[in-house]
Amino acid sequence: MNEQASSRILAVDWGAKRIGLALSDPTRTIASPLTVLTHISRAEDAASILITAAEKGANLILIGVTYDDEQQLTPSGRSAQRLAEVIKMRGSIEVQLYDESFSTQTARESRLLMGVPKNKRKGHFDAIAAVVFLQRFLDEGV
């Protein structure tokens, strides 16, 4: 694998029903939607995410988590954190948690602004939410 291919980041927007995935370009400048997985179980989700990361040449998996007003993980954030722990145990790719606050709201608003019909917003919406927080991460230059 060449040096550029190994510098991609795979972002994961975990949800109880669907998991949105987004991928950075090799230069870590632009985030793009990748796919939406159907949640099966934490173990199977982790395996699918690790396979995707390996296939796409990602060397970092960024898991979106949410916090409450006291800066504590929300129930959804704790579920995403548990998924991250399984991925870390089963794989050798670096995993980081990242605050994805408001990414879902931003993704919803962007789909509305683009004029996407309501019946076509659902599936890709999850991948767009992953794009939103991955792009924010990339823009921060972390």
> What is the predicted pLDDT for the residue at 120?
57
Gap between the Cα atoms of 32 and 69, Å rounded: 30
pLDDT at 97: 96
Q: Tally the domains of the chain.
A: 1
pTM for this one?
0.83
- Cα–Cα distance measured from residue 138 to residue 120, given in angstroms and rounded to the nearest whole number: 27
pLDDT at 1: 38
Angle in degrees, 0-180, between the axes of helices 103-113 and 122-139, rounded to the nearest 10: 120
Which CATH number goes with the domain that contains 99? 3.30.420.140
Query: Can you give the pLDDT at residue 110?
Result: 56
pLDDT at 5: 42
Torsion of CA 93, 15, 24, 63, to 10 degrees: -40
d(CA 26, CA 5): 6
How high is the pLDDT of residue 42?
95
| Separation CA 88–CA 141 (nearest Å) | 23
Tens-digit pLDDT string for the chain (142 aa)? 344 444 899 999 998 899 999 999 999 999 999 999 999 999 999 999 999 999 999 999 999 998 888 989 999 999 999 999 999 999 999 999 999 875 555 555 555 555 656 665 554 577 888 998 999 999 998 5
* Range of the structural domain that residue 17 is part of: 5-139
